[in-house]
Amino acid sequence: MTSTDAPQTALIPRDALFGNPERASVQISPDGRHLSWLAPVDGVLNVWVAPADDLASARPVTRDTARGIRAYFWSYRPDVLLYLRDSGGDEDFHAFRVDVTGGDPLDLTPFESTTADIAGVSHLVPDEVLIGMNDRDPELHDLYRVDLATGERTLVEQNTEGFLGYLADDRYEVRYALRQRPDAGMDLLARTPEGWKVAEEIGFEDALSTAPLALTADGSVLYMLDSRDRETAALVALDVASNERSVVHADPRADVQGRLLVHPRSGVVQAVGVTYLEPEWAVIDETVSTDLERLRTLGPGDAAVNTRTLDDTTWVIAYSAPDTPLAYHLYHRASGEIEYLFSGRPALDGAPLVTMTGVEIPARDGLTLPSYLTLPAGVTLDVDGRASTAVPMVLFVHGGPWARDTFGYDSWAQWLANRGYAVLQTNFRGSTGFGKAFTNAGDQQWGATMHDDLLDTVDWAVAHGVTTPDRVAVMGGSYGGYATLAGLAFTPEVFACGVDIVGPSNLHTLLETIPPYWKPMFEQLARRVGDPRTEEGRALLTERSPLTRAEQIVRPLLIGQGANDPRVKQAESDQIVEAMTHNGIPVTYVLFPDEGHGFHRPENSKAFNAIAENFLAAHLGGRAEPIDGDLSGSSTAVPTGADGVQGLPEALTGHEPVVRA
């Protein structure tokens, strides 16, 4: 046994878990002639393309040398794909097009401080794309048709009415728009000959679980997520002509959240995915029933359909399970053959990866918290849910908070479990996906009942022998970073240590500095977090800000921050570091000058995780690889507290930060 009390297994190298994947985001072009994926070029992710029948001839068609490309997709213009890229993590994503037969990429949104919103790509208008751009007004996106050959844009809609966005059909006729109401509800407006008319009223209580999704290609049916007059969000089909609606699929346990199998030409929904604890598919169109049955032969995990050819003869499948990283296949519908392509991370082949278990944890008020437990190799649960060995635990809190943890392969959970920790990921109240009452129960409960839920899951883990009360850390990013700070400030004796990644410490400054394009939905933030325009709201924000009680922090804290974060500004970390330093409380602060909301350059991600791994080992007793050279190539700066992590001062000696925008 090691000091973690878990059986010892081989250490999985951090680079295998967090370095660049060998291949990712595999897609097939609509005409079926090309396969594409993301892969490194000189250590930076770029788009590669190969003939579909000759993968050995693959070549990069982009040459990014900085942060890499993380999102791309095919247009319907032959040989042309689109990709998105920001600078230094500022989230001002520009849209580029590249002809895979040759030529340089073209920026379709060449304006400063502009965030591109791809609003439409259609096989009926193959030579143009719909893009929302906020260069005229940083708070609002105007809608343009953009010529894929020349980059010329033509104004379709000037957004002078505060719309959150537009919905067009496949002929690029704008049919609907969405606008937030003063009461923080939403109105879906339809275009009529007389102008915009409210077609659907969405109350505040349904605003996070009711929204338009897409029109069928002929524009006759509007698909919506809809939780009105029900608890969980259903997929609803609205007949545009008659306004009659029908429920396509609903699940009483969980929301439909937009995981749909849609016919590539007609736009008709053929299957619906829902996840309560584990993902499930419901067949809507029996013509794909056999296909989904065949895909289940890949294993007990999840077979996601990445892309389909326009003629629907070939699908790209991404298969994974909690203990199986993504592997890619081609599915040939006519023959039923599933052709293996490659693993996204072959370096993990044969690694001691572990499974994940979905558990239901009762909160103190009776609310059920769907959660996920990952245990180190050799530690098991009996039929009553009790662990065979108590080990240190990391409570890993998801961001959002209007998001959710789910079942599947998770590099963070695998990393921590391999180091000897149990990993508990909890869907606390306020998370989405489990019905509107579950989500709305988190309104104005940051640091209150949302925090109580996290404490209750820790108590559950202790009661079930997973861990002991003195060996629990809290860790997370964004809202998870806030939860880390709140945990150490509001309940200073509960956690042995904390790791905060881009978490807000001051809810006043968080709401004062939101990105300009978030301002049309400010009423939602005010009602769900706290309203800075009222005396009562300001008092609430002060009470729930970890900065207010920074002097109560007594346990070790590691903070990671991106200097260019547009959501949680660097000042959020600076403020609490300054307060803790002023009060003589040790804190280690790691800053990346070329990152934003999270760390996306693999060099930076690997560097921070090397520091975090050694920080956790010191305070929880888990295993760790030395930091050694894992800062190489990163932009790591440590303004304060380097001596709080074993090996960090030595790793910083001679370290020359590499900054790539």
In sign, the C-alpha dihedral spanning 442, 446, 448, 452 is positive
Question: What is the spatial order of strands in the sheet that 269-275 belongs to?
Answer: 256-262, 269-275, 279-283
- Which residue from 300, 467, 277, 302 is spatially nearest to 372, judged by alpha carbons? 277
Contact 563, 570 (CB under 8 A): yes
Catalytic annotation on 478? Answer: yes
> Tokens 């370096």 sit at which residue?
347
Q: How far apart are CA 304 and CA 271, in angstroms?
A: 12
Q: Is 101 exposed, middle or buried (0-12, 13-18, 19+ CB in 10 A)?
A: exposed
540 vs 88, 258, 444, 455, 532, CA distance in Å?
Answer: 34, 34, 8, 21, 9
Beta-carbon contacts of residue 384 (< 8 Å; ≥ 6 apart): none
Catalytic annotation on 332? Answer: no
Beta strands in 466-505 (DSSP E): 472-477, 497-501
Contact 233, 255 (CB under 8 A): yes
Q: How many CB atoms lie within 10 A of CB 387?
A: 19
Beta strands in 564-648 (DSSP E): 588-592, 637-640
Beta strands in 111-160 (DSSP E): 117-121, 128-137, 140-147, 153-157
Contact 370, 276 (CB under 8 A): yes
Catalytic residue among 94, 597, 600, 619: 597
Catalytic annotation on 600? Answer: no
Catalytic residue among 226, 410, 565, 630: 565
3-state SS assignment for residue 16: helix
Ramachandran category for residue 85: left, alpha or beta (phi over 0 → left; psi -120 to 50 → alpha): beta
528 vs 209, 538, 560, 597, CA distance in Å?
Answer: 14, 13, 26, 21
112 vs 37, 133, 141, 616, CA distance in Å?
Answer: 29, 11, 14, 41
Q: How far apart are CA 584 and CA 554, in angstroms?
A: 10
Contact 280, 274 (CB under 8 A): yes
Q: Quick one: how far is CA 263 from the chain centroid?
A: 25
255 vs 213, 438, 659, CA distance in Å?
Answer: 14, 11, 41
Catalytic residue among 25, 75, 343, 478: 478
Q: Which residues are catalytic?
A: 478, 565, 597
